[in-house]
Amino acid sequence: MDAITKPVGAFYQTDSSCHFCVWAPEKESMMLRLVQPVERELKMKKDAWGYFTAEVAEVAPGALYFLNPDNEGDFPDPASFNQPEGVHGPSQVVDHTFNWTDGSWEGVPRQELIIYELHVGTFTPEGTFEAIIPRLPELKETGINALEIMPVAQFPGNRNWGYDGVFPFAVQNTYGGPEGLKKLVNACHAHGIGVLLDVVYNHLGPEGNYLEKFGPYFTDKYKTPWGKAINYDGAYSDGVRSYISDNPVYWFRHFHIDGLRLDAIHTIFDQSAETIWELINSKIAQAIEELQRPFFLIAESDLNSPRVVQEALSGGFGFSMQWLDDFHHALYVLLDEKGRPLYEDFGKMEQLAKAYTDGFVHSGEYVRFRKKTFGASSSHLPGDQFVAFVQNHDQVGNRVSGERLSVLVDFERLKLAAAALLLSPYIPMLFMGEEYGEEAPFLYFVSHSDKDLIRAVREGRKKEFEDFKWEKEPPDPQREQTFEQSKLNWDKRQKGKNGQLLQWHQNLISLRRNRIALQNYSKESIKAQPLGQQGFILSRHSKNKEQQLLCLFNLSDDEIKYSPAATPEKYKLVLNSKDERWVQQKEKAYQVPTHLAAGETLYLPPVSVLVFACG
């Protein structure tokens, strides 16, 4: 007989009753204790598969409750939909009914995505979902059409990156809870902006993690760098797999989320005949058919494997897209020489060219950092199956002082970085504030209440940076000042060089949207070749070659001499990063020819990008 799995949580019914369900296969008894508005205690009924259920009349939304397995104490519901008093407090009954106004929303096509990663707590002074809403017109004007929100699953305290979440179905109370997130998503859709949510299915945080009080959610069979691995293939794993695989559909159905970014999927281990990826994809496919809206799955993966975006039924993981770390590494070390020791296997212009034409730079070569051959070729994958970036929360926040690229390189190189990304054949992602050169750091911060855990986090952070041979200690993650330092300075956005950089990003995004050559993600349409170790040429053309773009990058401080090969007709200049409009007053502007033909000699200005179009 096949195992039976059930949705877990507290499901409010239209007749003012509530259906409670919790999975605890090794427990003999389960008590439901309602604590507000009226105290009541009820014994839950257990079925053959370890699910305890109770149908309770006259339970209003907002009611608070605990669960007590085998008289071991009162604990929050593992599938809590809201934790209004934090990770240690009671769970709350939620009515997921919401006055949605996005009935005509059809999503943003994958090929058109311009993603913007943000952290709710530091994006605005208020640090809430609703405080983001007034900023949406500015993001839309910039060209952003999708937010990627760092994890919002309930975590301890009021400040955290989100990867210490312990209630996968509960929305962080200090951000505004489930109602606040729905308001944000609804407003985003009204502005033509999709919403992607970062989720963590490889581990749960330590503080407030009561799942083991209920069942075998974790396993010692595998290890992760952050805590116990989730039990996807061991004894009693059916209930765990159901719990996790229901989560993507939960966000899709109740919050109208347009897609998920899954954290570190390489630390999700499953040897089942039907993998967790097949199960998740199957449930999402059913929901897409029912809801008639698209839904993306984006992977963060350290595997350099094309199988990540291969269909799950054919042995892949079934993701729509995956992050392309190699693009960041290959570009960053050529922009900031001081950063080269951090990426010992990168530093050649040929590698950056390969990042454009192939995707993975490490595709089977020996990698010193890993002390082994690593990766497989992705040259056959279209570019829209990758998300590329020059900054993200990891690349900034895992530096000892949380430095953004804006404080590591000069203004001209910031413009180069933006052009390298937005002219690439990949789905681009900006990190909040990147579009105007925000200089505030993005540091690692927590707000735990367990003193031993606070000490362990501090010591672990120091040890991590010792391994990378940093010369100073990282800021204390527990201090509120560390969090406050990481907030964006919105007053800088339109001023001086920040406003100039913002306009540069707007111009590049407009170019990307209006040039069909930049909308072709086929690898056959992309060519890249180094200009020595000083720069590179990126060539893009549309599907029928009716339009071609020639992007010339000079990453050096010297002029580069360039003569194009035979071309069918003259190229017309459409972008010059050294034009008067784009340089600061102290910088020298360079006038370059407005047309370029075969045999003509062009001198690329120092630290510049020129874009020529044909057709």
Residue 79 CA to residue 68 CA, distance in Å, equals 14
Residues 304, 308: Cα–Cα separation, whole Å:
9
394 known member of a binding site: yes
Cα Rg of the chain (Å, integer) = 26
C-alpha–C-alpha distance, residues 489 and 123, integer Å: 9
484 catalytic per annotation: no
Cα angle 59, 64, 66; round to 5: 110
Q: Is 410 annotated as a binding residue?
A: no
Rounded Cα distance between 199 and 246, Å, is 13
300 is known as an active-site residue: yes
Which among 77, 148, 278, 300 is annotated as catalytic? 300
**565 marked ligand binding residue:** no
Give Cα separations from 537 to 99, 357, 424, 520 (angstroms).
51, 12, 12, 17
The H or E element that residue 419 is part of is helix 411-422
Does the annotation place 102 within a ligand binding site?
no
Question: pLDDT tens across 509-545, in order?
Answer: 999 999 999 999 999 999 999 999 999 999 999 998 8
Catalytic residue among 207, 233, 263, 384: 263
In this prediction, residue 586 carries a pLDDT of: 78
Do 245 and 280 contact (CB within 8 A), yes or no?
A: yes
What CATH number belongs to 520-614? 2.60.40.1180
Give domain limits for the chain. 9-92, 520-614
Q: Give SS3 for 79.
A: coil
**Is 246 one of the annotated binding-site residues?**
no
Q: Is 198 annotated as a binding residue?
A: no
Q: Which of 395, 264, 260 is nearest to 326 (CA)?
A: 395
pLDDT at res. 1: 40
- Size of the chain, expressed as the number of residues it contains: 615
Contact (CB, 8 A) for 24 and 69: yes
Determine how β-strand 91-92 pairs with β-strand 64-69: antiparallel
359/196 Cα distance (integer angstroms): 23
Question: 132, 104 in Cβ contact below 8 A?
Answer: no
From 551, 590, 573, 584, select the one nearest 416 (Cα to Cα).
551
Pick out the chain residues at pLDDT < 70.
1-3, 466-471, 566-569
The pLDDT assigned to 608 comes to: 97
Does the domain spanning 9-92 belong to CATH 3.40.50.300? no
φ/ψ of residue 460, rounded to 5? -65, -40
Angle at 227 between CA 225 and CA 229, to 5 degrees: 95
Q: Is 262 annotated as a binding residue?
A: yes
Q: Are 9-92 and 520-614 equal in CATH topology?
A: yes
**Of the candidates 342, 344, 472, the residue with the CA atom closest to the CA atom of residue 394:** 342
Residue 473: the pLDDT is: 82
Q: Which residues pair with 146 in a beta bridge?
A: 115, 194
Is 393 annotated among the ligand-binding residues? yes
pLDDT (0 to 100) of residue 462: 78
